[in-house]
Structure 1
Amino acid sequence: MTNDTKLLRIYTDEAAYFGDRKVFEVVASRARDAKLSGATVLEALLGFGPSAHVHRRHVLESDRAVVVEIIDLEAPLRAFVASLGDIPGIGLMTLEAVEIVGGSRKGVSAA
Structure 2
Amino acid sequence: MQLPEESVLLRIFIGEDDRADGQPLYEAIVVKAREMHMAGATVLRGPLGFGRSSRLHTAKILRLSQDLPIVVEIVDAPDKINAFIPALLGMTPSCLITTEKVRVIRYGEGEETR
Number of aligned positions between the proteins: 106
Structure 2 gap ranges (5+): none
CA RMSD between the two structures: 2.3
Aligned residue runs from structure 1 range 1-111, under 5 A: 4-57=6-59, 59=61, 60-104=64-108
TM-score normalised to the size of structure 2?
Answer: 0.81
Q: Provide the rounded CA distance (Å) in 2 between the counterparts of 1:89 and 1:46.
A: 22
Instruction: Render the CA deviation track for 1:45-79: whole Å, top value 9, x for unaligned.
Output: 11111210111236455410000000000111111
TM-score normalised to the size of structure 1?
Answer: 0.83
The percentage of aligned residue pairs carrying the same residue is 31
Q: Provide the rounded CA distance (Å) in 1 between the counterparts of 2:28 and 2:94.
A: 11
- The structure number with the bigger radius of gyration is 2
Structure 1 gap ranges (5+): none
Q: Pick closer, same or farther for the CA change 1:26–1:58 going to 2, 3 Å.
A: farther
Comparing 40-49 with 50-59, greater Cα deviation is found at: 50-59
Q: Provide the rounded CA distance (Å) in 1 between the counterparts of 2:54 and 2:65.
A: 19
Q: What secondary structure sits across from 2:34 in the alignment?
A: helix
Q: Provide the rounded CA distance (Å) in 2 between the counterparts of 1:32 and 1:42.
A: 17
